[in-house]
Structures are given as structure tokens and as C-alpha cells.
Structure 1
């Protein structure tokens, strides 16, 4: 017996699941109720399109298969009241909880104030990426100084934050991205690689990295940015820096 779920998924003899010709979800077979297992939401425009996010359900659980996470059960979600809020961003609601992809959010999404796609204020707390509590932040003074290009970099009156974590020793009063990084001049990785400095240190900021790299320049006043042959370099008197790595001049 073959039960076609659509979008390439089939249940065979209520015993195993194929995605086209490959068996999938094997470690969940003891949990899945094959008789009632079905697709309840996906982000494909038509049945012939690839769905990068698919929600499945049976009588007891909501399951998620996504480009953002491996196949999993949404903890505490209830098939009886499951609702999709924004499938492309991964927002769903069930059993009194909001989720982003496979993560249960620690606040009420409907009451949150989103500063941008990365930072949200809820219940007088600040969160990064909907999940991570930003600690030691002064919410009243918190801003995102470069929202169009570096949305995950923020600062308040006391600290500079990258992906919700404090950049050690960075001074929010003097911290600035170098001229040339944001003036529209094209260079490779111009959408994710930047240089900055404050009154004590220089920095390489790559928005797709997990942390900001600190550069201890001996000639900080001369630390500057230049595009050469479509590559973005920083310079001081001693070194050139490409993608944060220094080379002796």
C-alpha cells in the first residue's frame, strides 16, 4: 500500500517513508503514527515546486522538515490548534507557544516590538534571533546603527553588541565602521565583510561569522579602508588586512 503525501513524500505499507527513492525519518518511526501522518503546511508555490519548509502532523505531534534544521518534532506543539504565521520566516503558533523554525520562542511574538529582523523587544527584555536573551543591555538606549547592511550589530550607551553578545572592550561612544565600507563602492563580500575602529582597537566585522575579530593596531589613527581590484583592504602603517588577516607591508 502506497500513501502519497505529495511533494515527493510517500508512506509505504504504513511502515516506512520515502522521499522520492530515499528512505527518510527512520529514527522517528517508533513515534510517527503512520496512519494519520500527513503534510499540513509547506512553502512551495505549486505541487511541482521544491518545498524548503514542510510541516507534518499526526494525532500527537507536529513535525518539521526544513532547510534551517533537520527533521524534528516541535516540542509541546499540538496538532489541534497549529497555525502558520509566516512560513518563510519559520513562525508558527501552537498550544500557547510561538516557534521560529524548530525553536520555541521565550516570549509572546504577537506583543513583541521588532527593531529589525534580528533584534526584538518583549517584556522589557531584548532578544536576538527570537531565541537568545541579550544580557546587560540598556534597552532605552539600544540602537542598530547600520540597519541596512549590518543588522546584527547593535549598541547601547555602554556596550557594542554583535549577534546579541557584547564585543569585549568595544567603546560605543567611538565605535564606527570605516569610511568606504558603506559608501556603495563595490568589493568582494561587500555585503558581509567590514572594518571598524574605536578609540582603542580596530575590528573586522563579518556578519556571517560568530564573532567580531579584534585587531590590535599600533597605528590606529592611520587605520583606514580601501578597495583595490574589487577587494576590500584595511591598512595601518605596519600591515594590510584582507578578510581580517594581516600581511606585513
Structure 2
């Protein structure tokens, strides 16, 4: 017996799930109720489009298959009241909880003030990525200097933050992205790789990385950025830096 779910998924004999010809979701076979298991939401506009986010439900649980997380149960979500609020950004609601993909959000999404796609204020607290509480932040002075291009980098009067965490020793008064990274000249990774400096150190920032790399150059005043053959390099008196890695001049 074959039960077609759509978007390439099917149930065979109420025992296993295929995605086209490959078996999937095996780790949750003991939990899934195959009789009631179905697709309830997807970000694909048509049946033939690739779906990077799919919500499934059975009589007991909500399940998520997404490019942002492996197949899982959405914790404490109920099939009877589950609502998709913004499938492109992964916002849903159920059982009194708001979710971002599979993560339960620690605040009321409907009352939050979003500063950009990364930072939000709710109940007088600052959050990064809808789940991470930003600690030791002074909200009155909090700014995101390049909100669109480098949206996960921010600062207040005391600290510089990357992905909601303080960059140790970075000086918010003098910390700046090098202007030549931002002047519109094209280079590879120009949308995610940047150099900065303050009065103590230089920094390599890749917005898709987990942390900022500190560059303890001996010639900080000479630290600069230049595009050569569509590649972005930083230089001081001793080294060139490509994607944060230094090479002796």
C-alpha cells in the first residue's frame, strides 16, 4: 500500500517513509502515527517546486523537515492549534508558544520590536536570532551600524557584539568596518567577509562564521583593505590577509 504525501514523500505499507527512492525519518518511526501522518505546510509554491521547509503532522505531533534543522518534532506543539505565521522565516505558533523553526522562542513574537532580521527587543530585553538573550547590553545606546549588510554585528557604549555575544576587548568607541570594504567595489564574498579595526586590534569578520577573528597587527595604523583581481585583501607592513589568513609580504 502506498500513501502519497506530496512533494516527493510517500508512506509504504504504513511502515516507512520514502523521499523519492530514499528512506527517511527512520529515527522517529516508533513515534510517527503513519495512519494520520501528512504534510500540512510547505514553502513550495507548487507541487513541482523544491520545498526547503515542510511541516508534517499526525494525530499527536508536529514535525519539521527544513534546510535549517534535521527532521524533528516541534516540542510541545499541538496538531489541533498549530499555525504557520511566516513560513519563509520559520515563525509558527502552538500551545501558547512561538517558534522559530524548531526552537521555542523565549518571548512573545507578536509584541517584539524587530530592529532587523537578527536583533529583537521584547519585555525590555534584547535577543539575537529569536532565541539568544544578549547579556550585558545597554539598550539605550545599542545600534547596528550596518543593519542590512552586516546585520549580526552591533554595539552599545560599552561593547561590540557579534551574533549576540561580546567581542572581547573590542572598543565600541573606535571600532569601525574599513570603509574600502563598503565602497561598493565588488570582490568575492563581498556580502559576508569584512575587515575592521579599533584603536587596539584589527578584525576579520565573516558574517556566516561563529566568531570574529582578532588580528594583532604590529602596524595597526597601516592596516588597510584592497581589492585585487576581485579578491579582498587586507594589508599591514608585514603581512597580507586573505579571508583572515595571513601571508608574509
Q: TM-score range by the shorter chain?
A: over 0.9
Deviation per CA, 1:46-98: give whole Å up to 9, x if none: 11212111111111100001111111000000001000001011111000001
Q: Distance in 1 between matches of 2:74 and 2:31?
A: 13
Indicate yes or no: 2:64 matched with 1:64: yes
Query: Is 1:189–2:183 an aligned residue pair?
Result: no
Q: Which secondary structure does the structure 2 equivalent of 1:151 belong to?
A: coil
| Whole-angstrom CA distance in 2 between matches of 1:18 and 1:233 | 47
Matched, 1:115 2:115: yes
Question: Does the aligned pair in 2 maintain the 1:64–1:73 contact within 8 Å?
Answer: yes
Counterpart residue number, 1:135? 135
Query: What residue in structure 2 maps to residue 125 of structure 1?
Result: 125
Task: Tell me the CA shift for residue 151 of structure 1.
Answer: 0.5
- Aligned residue pairs total 249
CA–CA distance in structure 1, aligned partners of residues 83 and 107 of structure 2: 17
Q: How big is each residue's C-alpha offset from its partner over 1:122-155, in whole Å with a ceiling of 9 and x where there is no partner?
A: 1111111111111111111111001121000000
Moved over 3 A (4+): none
SS in 1 for 2:181: coil
1:206 deviates by 0.8
Contact 2:116 2:148 in 1 (8 A): no
Partners in 1 of 2:246 and 2:55 — Cα distance? Answer: 47
Per-residue deviation, 1:237 = 1.5
Using structure 2 for the length normalisation, give the TM-score: 0.98
Alpha-carbon distance, 1:113 to partner: 0.5
Q: Note the aligned Cα RMSD (angstroms).
A: 0.9
TM-score in terms of structure 1 length: 0.98
Report the alpha carbon displacement of residue 172 of structure 1 after superposing the two structures with TM.
0.3
Q: Is the 8 A contact 2:201 2:217 kept in 1?
A: yes
For 2:80 and 2:167, locate their aligned partners in 1 and report how far apart those are by CA, in whole Å: 44
Shift of residue 11, structure 1, vs aligned partner: 1.3
